Amino acid sequence: MNQPIYLFTRYERLWHWFQVVIITLLIVTGLEVHGSFSLMGFETAARVHNLSGIAWAVAFAFFAFWIATTGEWKHYIPTTRKMALVVRHYAVGIFKGEPHPVPATERAKHNPLQRIVYLLFSALLLPSQMITGFLYYTINTRTDFMADVGLKAIAVLHTFGALLVLAFIIMHVYMITTGPTVFSHLKAMITGWER
């Protein structure tokens, strides 16, 4: 058995689980605002959605500061080195019980595919959701701007982004079950230790 390594700091784990709560709230309330179901009522759902979005944006600013000042950004630098091996592993090797070709280390927490996906998620998708959400939130104070850009375009972008976030979550939840045991990756995000 491999030696356990400490991969995720307390801050990373808190940030991760905070996002789980916030993104869940945003998806549920966003669906309710869209009229998909009625759980808490439109006004309450819209208020919770807006407050959750603001909380997420503030926390994201802290995350950006943390990642920039601690050197953690190095774990997100994209690379294509061994990418073909990782893609092959997820397409075929994982189903044959083959070991991962790029195991996590303290110097490289994420494999090449994770680096690209997490970078795109954190640097493009999340800010895009926050910007389009902010434009929605301030719609009544930005009528000239909204006339130029169009509320419908912003609505479509925000909804499409939400669907991408949901797709990421589904894949992410599936991938955490692919460790040595079904719960080993989940346990790592609770304790910080990867085995």
Q: What is the pLDDT of residues 48-72, one digit of tens each?
A: 999 999 999 999 999 999 999 999 9
**Rounded CA separation 28/106 (Å):** 35
pLDDT at 179: 84
Mean pLDDT of 87-103: 93
Mean pLDDT of 112-125: 95
Residue 25's nearest CA partner among 50, 46, 52, 47 is 52
pTM of the entire predicted model: 0.89
Domains for the chain: give ranges and CATH numbers: 5-194 (1.20.950.20)
Burial class (CB in 10 A: 0-12, 13-18, 19+), 126: buried
Question: What is the dihedral sign for C-alpha 103, 109, 113, 117?
Answer: positive
How many Cβ atoms are within 10 Å of 19's Cβ, its own excluded? Answer: 17
Mind listing the pLDDT tens digit for each residue in 18-49? 999 999 999 999 999 999 999 999 999 999 99
